Structure 1
């Protein structure tokens, strides 16, 4: 479920069911042409579909970090901390194009970076991603893939 689909009157009763916040990370640099930026956003959308669709009743997708240059992760880490303080138990960051170091994002409970997943496994992407979400929910520990 997208953050914009939640209205103020229903959030109080829905909140107990949504314990996981998904933060998309595009990693644009500003050097992309409009066509390249569109392609990056489409890749991220398709990657996020692997969790947004099957876990719609438990996960809320927050606005994406579009620009980041993959250098300074402190703002993204702070947002992870803040959404936990706002009531989310878990924070998942997803990126279709960027590998994000867990050491720079200690407040994230799970980082799903498509390049890292594809480099490590020849298995079906959807199964791996959904399996990692289930592991997070079942163990409550921090993970990165």
Structure 2
């Protein structure tokens, strides 16, 4: 995790001067300056989170340059290959983005479908024969 944290925090050293240069050259144009300031803040938040996380957890096999491939073997999580809910969520996101291009009323339909898909995806293992 430490490598990822250094990557994110190190790129702040690039984005801050670009923010200042863009601001000076454009006369602090509000849209671009705000976007670059948000980029600096977001990369900083991710880098800070990864730095805190790297102190809390043990080093991973990916962090050891002398690690073998077999060191990372094992389970990575529980996945449901028979689930249809990701398709429902994908359709909902399509409606939301289509709503920005066609009409804002379509965004509401996409948000409703997304809510149904999200609840179904989260509670999938809590119903019927999949319940724990």
TM-score range, shorter chain: under 0.3
With normalisation by structure 2, the TM-score equals 0.25
Going by fraction, where is helix more abundant, 1 or 2? 2
Going by fraction, where is strand more abundant, 1 or 2? 1
Looking at both structures, which has the greater relative contact order when contacts are Cα pairs under 8 Å and sequence separation is at least 6?
A: 1
